[in-house]
Structure 1
Amino acid sequence: MSAVNKSYGKVFRKHRASESMHVDLITIYLLAIGTLLASCGMTLWERRTHVARKKELGTLAAAYATLAAGCAAVSVRHQLPGAIGSALANLIMVSGYLLILHGVAVSNGRHYRALSAWMLVGVAIAWSIAGVRWETSMWNYWSAIPISIACGMAARELVRGNGAKRVQSRDIAAIVSGTHAVFYAARACVLPWAATWLGHGGLSAIAKLTMYEGVLYSVILPMTLLRLVRDEAHGELLMESRTDYLTGLGNRRWFFEEGARVIRRGDAARPVSLLALDLDNFKTINDRYGHDAGDEVLKSFARAAKAVLGQDAVFARIGGEEFAVVLRDHDRVRARAVGEAVAGRFAQTVTYSAEGTGIRATVSIGMAQSGAEASTLAELLAAADRALYSAKALGGNRLEAAQFVARAQAVRDGVACSGR
């Protein structure tokens, strides 16, 4: 193995000294340093724009600066006595990769401070054990292990995401980081055993491939992470434009977009029902307890209804005290049961005003099903609204179905005709 290590070390020195190479290792290191410092500057500039991502972007900028310093240390490591230069360069590089891991994890609400500290301590101990005797082996192979681990964990964090809607830039960043992890894992685990039959030519090709891949990583990952921040910031702004500021539910615009999409996908085998909901005597509550108390009642209703409806319902606030729900795969019986459960739960809910006064409120609900009363979202909502007015006229705190309204209207029309 020592002969293999010496051979591999000679390949790297040969790359630096060879005049026949178009691009030597020093030039590649300088290129990597330049791209990393440029990425650091652009990330710091982006940090001024995205205040909400200030911590994440600041950590990533520090990571790129640290990796640039690591590349500089690598290029001059032989000028320091013993294995100090190699150990120091490796520690700086590992620190840079761990900062990238931390920056990605911060966006997901997680951190790896303790793990990072222990990993750096482990690297330092490994270099103190290796010393000058195993410096070549440590540098060529085993120093790649912590880098591979850090990149693999960063890829995992990118795959896990932060709960936001998935964007293409996140997948690309995960692939780039994962590929880098595989390269370094192969350097640590495969290259020591393959070096004996690869020969100088094979090792030379691998050395160049590793360096080129490193430069690509230093360019693609920072650019992709910047794109990820922009994509997610845009997604957050879009979500805010479709979210009711008070209740956190979807707003009218979001409801009509999502509701129409659900109804288009519905058919006879997969019925879609709509509930139109309106809080009873809400103006009286505002006049008696104040608008702040009224806002608390609205938020209490949103929480109570969400607990019953679950995540699959298209639930939105479409007016002052008006709400609407689209229930996919719900026939009349199932939709009625859900609506009555919402009304019952809210009737038992007590909302407290700023003065500590308990406020009870109720809700009236109109129900309609796609295909019978209507085929579009607008027609379905209109049918449910007619049923809602009937529920209000009957005293509120109840659910009425659009079919009942239609039947009652037909009866009234028949009575009127017979009277004439």
Structure 2
Amino acid sequence: MHVDLITIYLLAIGTLLASCGMTLWERRTHPRRKRELGTLAAGYATLAVGCATVPIRHDLPGVTGSALSNLVIVTGYLLILRGVAVMNGRQYRALSVGILLGLALAWVIAGTRREVPMWNYVSAIPIAAACGMASRELLRSDGAKRAQAKDIAAVVSGGHALFYAARACILPWVATSFGPGMLSAIAKFTVYEGVLYSVILPMTLLRLVRDEAHGELLKESRTDYLTGLGNRRWFFEEGARIVRINEASRPVALLALDLDNFKTINDRYGHDAGDEVLKSFARIANDVLGPEAMFARIGGEEFAAVLPDHDRVRAKAMGEAVAARFAQTISHGAGGVEIRATVSIGLAQSGAEAATLTDLLAAADRALYSAKSLGGNRVELAQSAPPPPMALDGVACGS
């Protein structure tokens, strides 16, 4: 079936406008990315306007029509670049203005005598640059922020950049070698490729925003609202994984931490003051334990930390550092009242007596109760569970 160039242009315009509409709709449901989605929608709409002007560009005198059409299209690509860049905290505002001014100057210099090579070859250079920079921005995110949708978007934008770079650099040779008919075929292929770009890129960017929103919701479901630490659910999911990975080769220690006399603090100073004490402890312990520790709030004033590659000696030193630093800290309640608090800590290490996270936590809790009974503000080590009594001819030894 033969499809003429005008029909393909109309298809490209339709897909760009549809992408603009879907992006604006998503903008309503993702306020965190409202700015980026609005910029991307503006980019798609601007590209649609630019494509709509291409078939009628010769209706204006001189190179005015071609120049305006090219400038509008490049503006659309630069808006898409900015929408992607803002996700990483960048904008490219000055560079975008420079590209547009340079392109406008090039059209003025080209004039009517060089309109055809300017339109066919030179005008592709800023498009290739904008798409290449957008691809680079999509690939710049660190590993924690990378996602499949982002990689696909980077490939699509990068492929579009390579296509236009080839149009600028290779097409002149192709036209010379194969004649003007090849230019018409490549023009049609350009629009086909543009349709694919206008469909795949917006869809993958929308998928990226949705995945990001889902990730934020998942993170919130695993985060304690008061301290910003992981919550009980996160602790048991991630802690079990860490213990399972390290059980055969490396030691894993677990600290069970509980603030001393916390009910008294709440009763005397109020729950707001108690919350400040909890937040202060979370900050201190998190700072002392460091990024390697998996530290979480698992109850009211109860915390727990999984320490990979920590034996009893090293883990005890960490626990004592937490207890000492917190005991020296002054928290402030309502009216600036000064509050001092301490913490009791129980320590258990993985091994034959505690092979799972549940076993480790139970052993550390027993040590924690021992620390409480000894007055608190201390670290106690879990004792190995006593072996079961041996029996001889049905009578227990020692009877």
- TM-score greater than 0.5 by the shorter chain: yes
CA distance in 2, matches of 1:139, 1:358: 73
Structure 1 residues 212 and 109: alpha-carbon distance in aligned structure 2, compared to 1, 3 A threshold:
same
2:333 counterpart of 1:353:
yes
1:228 offset after TM fit, Å?
1.3
CA distance in 2, matches of 1:406, 1:393: 19
Give the aligned partner of residue 364 of structure 1: 344
Q: Contact 1:164–1:232 (CA<8 Å) still a contact in 2?
A: no
1:185-210 superposed Cα distances (whole Å, 9 cap, x missing partner)? 22223333444334446544433332
Which SS does the other structure have where 1:75 is aligned? coil
> What are structure 2's unaligned runs of at least 5 residues?
390-395
2:276 counterpart of 1:299:
no
1:151 offset after TM fit, Å?
1.2
CA distance in 1, matches of 2:71, 2:51: 11
2:166 counterpart of 1:190:
no
TM-score, normalised on structure 1? 0.87
Q: Which amino acid aligns with 1:350?
A: I
Give the aligned partner of residue 107 of structure 2: 127
Alignment of 1:202-217 (within 5 A): 202-217=182-197
Give the aligned partner of residue 381 of structure 1: 361
Give the aligned partner of residue 229 of structure 1: 209
- Aligned counterpart in structure 2 of residue 286 of structure 1, from 257, 262, 266: 266
> What are structure 1's unaligned runs of at least 5 residues?
1-20, 411-416
Alignment of 1:309-348 (within 5 A): 309-348=289-328
Moved more, 91-100 or 106-115: 106-115
Alignment of 1:142-181 (within 5 A): 142-161=122-141, 165-181=145-161
TM-score, normalised on structure 2? 0.91
1:54 offset after TM fit, Å?
1.8
Q: Contact 1:119–1:146 (CA<8 Å) still a contact in 2?
A: yes
CA distance in 1, matches of 2:172, 2:252: 62
Give the aligned partner of residue 95 of structure 1: 75
Q: Contact 1:293–1:353 (CA<8 Å) still a contact in 2?
A: yes
CA distance in 2, matches of 1:398, 1:170: 49
- CA RMSD in angstroms comes to 2.3
1:162-186 superposed Cα distances (whole Å, 9 cap, x missing partner)? 8864321111111111111111122
Q: Contact 2:255–2:348 (CA<8 Å) still a contact in 1?
A: yes
1:338 offset after TM fit, Å?
2.0
Alignment of 1:58-97 (within 5 A): 58-97=38-77
Q: Which amino acid aligns with 2:199?
A: V
Q: Which amino acid aligns with 1:90?
A: N
Give the aligned partner of residue 10 of structure 1: none
CA distance in 2, matches of 1:368, 1:344: 19
Q: Contact 1:108–1:162 (CA<8 Å) still a contact in 2?
A: no
Q: Which amino acid aligns with 2:91?
A: H
Q: Which amino acid aligns with 1:363?
A: V
CA distance in 1, matches of 2:46, 2:294: 47
CA distance in 2, matches of 1:45, 1:199: 46
Q: Contact 1:109–1:162 (CA<8 Å) still a contact in 2?
A: no
Q: How many residues align?
A: 391
CA distance in 1, matches of 2:297, 2:38: 38
Percent sequence identity over matched residues? 77
Q: Which amino acid aligns with 2:101?
A: V
Which SS does the other structure have where 2:335 is aligned? coil
Give the aligned partner of residue 414 of structure 1: none
CA distance in 1, matches of 2:40, 2:350: 51
2:14 counterpart of 1:34:
yes
1:248 offset after TM fit, Å?
0.8
CA distance in 2, matches of 1:302, 1:192: 65
Q: Which amino acid aligns with 2:378?
A: R
